[in-house]
A and B are shown apart, each in its own frame.
Chain A
Amino acid sequence: GQNIDQPTEMTATEGAIVQINCTYQTSGFNGLFWYQQHAGEAPTFLSYNVLDGLEEKGRFSSFLSRSKGYSYLLLKELQMKDSASYLCAVKDSNYQLIWGAGTKLIIKP
């Protein structure tokens, strides 16, 4: 079966750095996405990785290792507004998106 694993919840301090991990086992791979979802709202796109390595976009970076079936989302200089759920999703060989259950990130002052 296809599976994506993320921690259920993480807590970090304002101004700090946090890394949210995602491991996947899918039938084929056509890219990995990270989305941010605030409570009661729809997800918004954060990043896309299809090749190994680090993609940096401001305070957010995303890393991919296809051989390990592993990705992480790195958030720097955390702000209170970063409190949200972070969803990892992988496109399989049929270009179908497989979603992780999401990681709820709690930022404390």
Chain B
Amino acid sequence: GAVVSQHPSRVICKSGTSVKIECRSLDFQATTMFWYRQFPKQSLMLMATSNEGSKATYEQGVEKDKFLINHASLTLSTLTVTSAHPEDSSFYICSASRGGISGANVLTFGAGSRLTVL
């Protein structure tokens, strides 16, 4: 089955520093990956769609200069939270679909990264 690896699972950083989160599709190529954010007791909020070889598509209200996304290969997308602040503390989850985004193609999620900014 499709496996998505996300790293790190937990990170604690000081305010003002940058944090990079990696998302890898281990056994399939993912031209499209998705980055979500989830606050406690809330549902998933799509932040951006990461497209291999091109710029990411950001959802309304998500600062592209703060949340840098790079999808340099068919198996790796990275999310960098720049100049992190305590309000950026959240659970970040990436996902990818083996067969693209249409129809019955199921999203496989990474295990998530819990970011705590002090």
Binding site for B on A (CB under 8 A): 30-31, 33, 40-45, 48, 50, 87, 91, 95-97, 99-102, 104
How close is B64's CB to chain A, nearest CB, in angstroms? 18
A32 to B46, CA, bound (A): 17
The answer to the question of B107 belonging to the interface, with a C-beta cut-off of 8 Å to chain A, is yes
Binding site for A on B (CB under 8 A): 6, 41-46, 91, 93, 95, 101-104, 106-112, 114
Subset of 19 A-B contacts with CB under 8 Å: A30-B103, A31-B103, A31-B104, A40-B114, A42-B93, A42-B95, A42-B111, A43-B93, A44-B109, A50-B103, A87-B43, A95-B101, A95-B102, A99-B43, A99-B46, A101-B42, A101-B43, A102-B43, A104-B41
A95 to B114, CA, bound (A): 28
Name the prevailing secondary structure of the B interface residues: loop
A68 to B91, CA, bound (A): 34
Task: For A50, list chain B residues within 8 Å (CB).
Answer: 103-104
How close is A93's CB to chain B, nearest CB, in angstroms? 11
Q: Are B106 and A33 in contact (CB under 8 A)?
A: yes
- Our pick among A33, A95, A100 for the contact of B43 (Cβ within 8 Å) is A100
Known: A42-B111, A87-B43. 7 other contacts (CB 8 A): A33-B107, A41-B111, A42-B112, A45-B106, A45-B108, A91-B103, A102-B43
A101 to B112, CA, bound (A): 18
A14 to B34, CA, bound (A): 35
A33 to B114, CA, bound (A): 25
A33 to B109, CA, bound (A): 14
Q: Are B107 and A45 in contact (CB under 8 A)?
A: yes
How close is B11's CB to chain A, nearest CB, in angstroms? 14
Known: A87-B44, A97-B46, A101-B42. A43 touches B109 (CB 8 A): yes
A30 to B102, CA, bound (A): 8
